[in-house]
Amino acid sequence: MTFRTATAVAAEIRRGALSARDLTEELLDRIDGSALNAVVETHRDVALRAAEDADRAVARGTDVGPLHGVPMTVKDAFAVAGMHTTWGEPAFAECVADRDAAVVERLRAAGAVVAGKSNVHRMLADFGQTANPVYGRTLNPRDPARTPGGSSGGSAAAVAAGLSYLEYGSDLAGSIRIPAAYCGVYGLKPTAGTVPLRGFQPPGPPADPGRDFPSAAGPLARSAADLRLALGVTGGPDGAEAHAYSWRLAPPRHSRLADFRVGAVLDDPRCPVTSEVGDALSDAVDALARAGVEVTEGWPDGVDPVAQAESFGFQVELFFAMHEGDLDGVVEQERRRLASAAAWSRYFRDADVFLSPTVFTTAFLHDSEQSRYDDQVFWIAQASLPGLPAVTAPIGGALPTGLQVVGPAHEDDTAITFAGLAADVTGGFVPPEE
């Protein structure tokens, strides 16, 4: 039961074949016994009461949501009423949220039992590691000597280790996709703007709304189907816009693996992958080809991956600066971003998904010298700059390797569906060795 998917346990709870309370208690016990430091706060009594309520609702025959009774965790940076929101910063160590973030509201409305919060890097300021002065360092369940990635390292480690059935993290510079790759789980950065970010901010008075792009909130899970389920209940407009129009997840372009038109770049001299990553990616694409998938190699016309990576770096700086700085530089970089989005839009007229590495290496040792540290962002930048949905899918290897599946804008389920179908031939989530 420890490594079942959220979709599977939700179905059993709805049928009355599984007790939400028992499942939640087992999960909390595993968290208490873990040395990974992935989940840093739980509210046992609150979670168990919510799970008991879920069981009573099933017994009454009440209509229930798609995540009814499923115990899960969320990244520390999301506000959860009654729990600490620290962002790993000592100045916020005693801050307790008085209300839920939009994502948490929607997960609860879908029936999820929010049982705890996962660790982050201090102020979410590192995509490669997860450590902070409040809670300390999170370890990778595949090899505790190695990083789980950041800043959603606690999220990915919790899912991989069976400490959560579903997680919600955030991704500015790969903070969902890189940890997912390093820990061997699925992670989704949705199309920009799909999931509301209300309640995702450091403690204190609400900041100027500023500029959300390119930050995104998204799920981490042990299956692609769980990504679809989580996005389906958390996406859509927030606030006044929520009453202006309805939102639903667009259907995938295809339902058979061999029907997908696939593009791919598995290596690039400007950010070469390690041999371990390259071998795993090559094996995965060969398996797809044997399954009847036709793969066309090469970058889309009009896409310069180095220029995209550089422009994405500027967008991240702009995100933090909130439009302060050189206006001429802003205008030029925005032109490049829009040109990138247009090039990818043209590309997806003839292709359904685009495959690439998530990151050029597998998880590295804690505190090791990494001469190519910033290169961890190169491959994830290709989807982030134009705001495209991107799934990291585990494809095996001695240490996990992540295959990045990029889809067309606002067609997240095309990327999710491909990742789910591909698992039949490339492999999917595998529990870590005990």
pLDDT at 323: 40
Per-residue confidence (pLDDT) for residue 369, from 0 to 100: 75
- pLDDT per residue as tens digits for the range 356-380: 999 999 999 997 777 899 999 999 9
What pLDDT, on the 0 to 100 scale, is given for residue 328?
A: 59
Hey, which residues are catalytic here?
75, 151, 175
What is the average per-residue pLDDT within 181-200? 97
Average of per-residue pLDDT values in the chain: 94
Mean pLDDT along residues 250-262: 98
Domain ranges of the chain: 6-243, 257-426
Q: What is d(CA 179, CA 175) in angstroms, rounded to the nearest whole number?
A: 7
Looking at domain 6-243, its CATH architecture is Alpha-Beta Complex (3.90)
6-243 and 257-426: same fold? yes
Q: Class of 257-426 per CATH? A: alpha beta
Task: Give the pLDDT confidence of 315-343 residue by residue, as tens digits.
Answer: 888 787 754 555 657 788 888 999 999 99
pLDDT of residue 243: 81
User: With 60 as the cut, is the pLDDT of residue 91 above it?
Assistant: yes
What's the mean pLDDT in 113-136? 97
Measure the CA–CA gap between 264 and 347, rounded to whole angstroms.
12
**pLDDT for residue 249 is more than 70:** yes
CB-based contacts of 193-196 (< 8 A; 24+ apart in sequence): 193/387, 194/231, 194/235, 194/236, 194/389, 194/410, 194/412, 195/102, 195/103, 195/231, 195/234, 195/235, 196/102, 196/103, 196/236, 196/237, 196/238, 196/239
Distance CA 28, CA 34 (A): 10
| Range 380-405 average pLDDT | 95
pTM listed for this prediction: 0.96
Which three-class secondary structure string do you get for the chain?
Answer: CCCCCHHHHHHHHHHCCCCHHHHHHHHHHHHHHCCCCCEEEECHHHHHHHHHHHHHHHHHCCCCCCCCCCEEEEECCECCCCCECCCCCHHHCCCECCCCCHHHHHHHHCCCEEEEEECCCHHHCCCCCCEECCCEECCECCECCECCCCCCHHHHHHHHCCCCCCEEEEECCCCCHHHHHHHCCEEEECCCCCCCCCCECCCCCCCCCCCCCCCEEEEEECCHHHHHHHHHHHCCCCHHHHHCCCCCCCCCCCCCHHHCEEEECCCCCCCCCCHHHHHHHHHHHHHHHHCCCEEEECCCCCCCHHHHHHHHHHHHHHHHHCCCCCHHHHHHHHHHHHHHHHHHHHHCCCCCEEEEECCCCCCCECCCCCCCHHHHHHHHHHHHCCCCCEEEEECCCCCCCEEEEECCCCCHHHHHHHHHHHHHHHCCCCCCCC
Q: Note the pLDDT of residue 214.
A: 82
- Note the pLDDT of residue 371: 80
Distance CA 344, CA 390 (A): 13
